[in-house]
Amino acid sequence: PVISSNTGGIPEVNIHGVTGYLSAVSDVDDMVKNSLKILSDDTVLAEFKENAYQVALNFDIKNVLPLYEALYEKAYKTHYNNTY
């Protein structure tokens, strides 16, 4: 489980209330509160751990690499078609 800020790409990986908790940037008090919620309840801890693992599988190289390859191929074809 993760305690993180709700900025940038982090919410894509850390889903609030599912894989951990998101707090506003620099809201340390909320981060402490959320950390204590997870650490004080073994059921929540176990659930968030499993959920975090399942979400992490979405970002496995086998899933992400084809997306990058398709993006690069599209960029290459666009450039190639526009230069001739």
Distance CA 3, CA 23 (A): 8
pLDDT of residue 83: 65
**pLDDT tens for the chain, residues 1 to 84:** 889 999 998 998 899 999 999 999 999 999 999 999 999 999 999 999 999 999 999 999 999 999 999 999 999 999 888 766
Domain locations along the chain: 2-59
pLDDT of residue 38: 93
pLDDT of residue 79: 84
